[in-house]
Amino acid sequence: MAKSDQCIKGLILFFNHRILLDYLCDADRGRLVSDLMDYAQHGVLPEDYDNDVMRLAFSLLQEDVDRNTQRYAEICAARSAAGKKSAAARAAKNFAEEVSCEDDAQ
What φ, ψ does residue 12 adopt, rounded to 5°? Answer: -95, 125
**1 inside domain:** no
**pLDDT, tens digit only, all 106 positions of the chain:** 655 555 678 888 899 999 989 999 999 999 999 999 999 988 999 988 988 999 999 999 999 999 988 888 888 888 888 888 888 888 877 777 776 666 666 6
Q: Please tell me the chain's helix, strand, coil percentages from 3-state DSSP, rounded to the nearest 5.
A: 75, 0, 25
Number of domains in the chain: 1
**8 inside domain:** no
**63 inside domain:** yes
Task: For residues 32 and 21, give the distance between their C-alpha atoms in angstroms, rounded to a whole number.
Answer: 9
Show Cβ contacts of residue 31 under 8 Å, excluding neighbours closer than 6 positions: 54
Side-chain half-sphere exposure of 6, counting CA atoms within 13 A: 18
**5 inside domain:** no
**60 inside domain:** yes
Domain with 82, as residue range(s), is 15-105
**6 inside domain:** no
| pTM given for the model | 0.70
Task: For residues 86 and 82, give the distance between their C-alpha atoms in angstroms, rounded to a whole number.
Answer: 6
